[in-house]
C-alpha cells in the first residue's frame, strides 16, 4: 500500500483508520471520502456517494490510488430498519468499489462481520469455514460480499482481502447503529451518568475487540504476503468474548458506584442471539500473524481514561 482511497471515512472504523494510515504512510497518501461532508479538517477529503461508480473511478484514478479500502455500509440494527436500502447500498457500493479496483488494478479491502453467521452456525469456537445462514439483511449482505470478493479474486486475480470483525469498541466515534454498540455505550454512560440500561440481555456473549487492535489487523493483513493467504476475504478475528455484566464488573473496579440494568430490545437481541458466542481466529494467526494487545481489563482502563479526558475537553469548550 502506497496510496489509498478510503470510503466511509467518517464512520466508526473509517474515521480512526484514516488517522492511523496517515501516521504510517503520510497524510497525502490517504484520500478520505464519505457521502457527507465534514467541518473537520481531514484533507485530502472528497465527498463520494459509493453508488456513483463514475465519481469513484474518477477520484481513485486522479489520486493515483493503488489500494481501495471500502468501509461504507449500513450496520446491522440500522439495516434491519430499512433492509432494501441496506441491500442497495451495501451490495451496490461494494460492486462499484470492486469494479473500480479491478479497472485500476488496485489492492482491495472490505470488512465482513460475525453477522455473516446465523442461528444454525456452531455457537462456540465458530470455525473459519462453517455453515453461514444469517437471518438479517446485514448478515446476508456480508455473506454475499465475502463470496463476491472471492469471485473477483478467482476470476480477475484481484488482490481482495478482508476480516470478519467482531463488535468494535472505541472512545473516538459515537456508536453508529450496530448490535454490539451497547459495549461502547456502557463506557460513555459509566462516565457521564454512573449507570447504564442495556438493550442486550444478561448472559448474551458476543465477540469484541478494541479499536486499536482492529486497525492494526487491517494494516497487518494488507501488508501480508499474499501467497500465504488461503482464506483472503473472511478471516475470523476476535480479542475477547464478553456479556454485559462482565463489562459492568470490570467498569466497577474503577467506578464502584456504577450500576447496570436491562431493558432488552427484541430486534437487537434477536440479532445478537443469531451470532456466535465465540469464534476461532486460528486461520488469521497462522496465515498472517494476527494478534491483539488489549484484553477486557486493559481495554477498560484505556477507555475510561480516554473518555474522562474527552469529557473534560468538552466541558471546557
Distance (Å, whole) CA 182 – CA 252: 16
The Cα 194–Cα 187 span in angstroms is: 9
Cα–Cα distance measured from residue 251 to residue 262, given in angstroms and rounded to the nearest whole number: 16
Query: Which active-site residues does the annotation give?
Result: 138
**Structural contact between residues 263 and 199, judged by C-beta atoms closer than 8 angstroms:** yes
Amino acid at each position: 500500500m502506497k496510496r489509498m482511497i478510503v470510503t466511509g471515512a467518517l464512520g466508526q472504523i473509517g474515521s480512526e483508520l484514516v488517522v492511523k494510515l496517515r501516521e504510517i504512510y503520510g497524510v497525502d497518501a490517504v484520500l478520505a471520502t464519505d457521502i457527507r461532508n465534514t467541518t473537520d479538517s481531514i484533507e485530502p477529503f472528497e465527498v463520494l456517494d459509493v453508488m456513483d461508480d463514475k465519481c469513484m473511478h474518477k477520484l481513485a484514478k486522479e489520486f493515483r490510488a493503488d489500494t481501495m479500502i471500502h468501509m461504507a455500509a449500513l450496520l446491522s440494527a440500522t439495516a434491519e430498519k430499512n433492509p432494501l436500502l441496506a441491500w442497495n447500498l451495501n451490495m451496490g457500493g461494494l460492486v462499484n468499489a470492486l469494479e473500480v479496483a479491478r479497472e485500476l488494478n488496485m489492492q482491495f479491502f472490505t470488512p465482513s462481520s460475525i453477522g455473516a453467521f446465523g442461528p444454525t452456525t456452531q455457537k462456540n469456537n465458530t470455525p473459519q469455514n462453517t455453515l453461514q445462514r444469517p437471518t438479517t439483511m446485514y448478515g446476508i449482505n456480508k455473506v454475499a460480499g465475502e463470496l463476491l470478493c472471492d469471485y473477483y479474486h478467482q476470476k480477475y486475480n484481484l488482490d481482495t482481502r478482508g476480516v470478519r470483525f467482531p463488535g468494535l469498541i472505541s472512545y473516538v466515534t459515537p456508536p453508529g447503529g450496530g448490535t454490539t454498540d451497547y459495549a461502547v455505550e456502557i463506557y460513555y454512560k459509566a462516565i457521564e451518568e454512573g449507570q447504564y440500561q442495556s438493550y442486550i440481555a444478561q448472559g448474551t456473549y458476543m465477540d469484541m475487540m478494541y479499536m486499536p487492535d482492529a486497525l492494526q489487523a487491517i494494516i497487518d493483513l494488507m501488508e501480508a504476503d499474499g501467497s500465504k493467504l488461503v482464506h483472503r476475504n473472511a478471516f475470523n478475528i476476535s480479542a475477547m468474548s464478553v456479556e454485559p455484566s462482565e463489562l459492568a464488573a470490570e467498569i466497577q473496579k474503577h467506578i464502584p458506584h456504577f450500576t447496570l440494568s436491562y431493558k432488552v430490545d427484541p430486534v437487537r437481541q434477536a440479532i445478537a442471539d443469531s451470532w456466535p458466542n465465540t469464534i476461532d481466529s486460528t486461520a488469521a494467526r497462522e496465515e498472517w500473524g494476527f494478534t491483539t494487545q488489549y484484553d477486557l481489563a486493559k481495554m477498560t482502563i484505556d477507555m475510561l481514561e480516554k473518555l474522562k479526558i474527552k469529557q473534560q475537553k468538552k466541558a471546557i469548550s
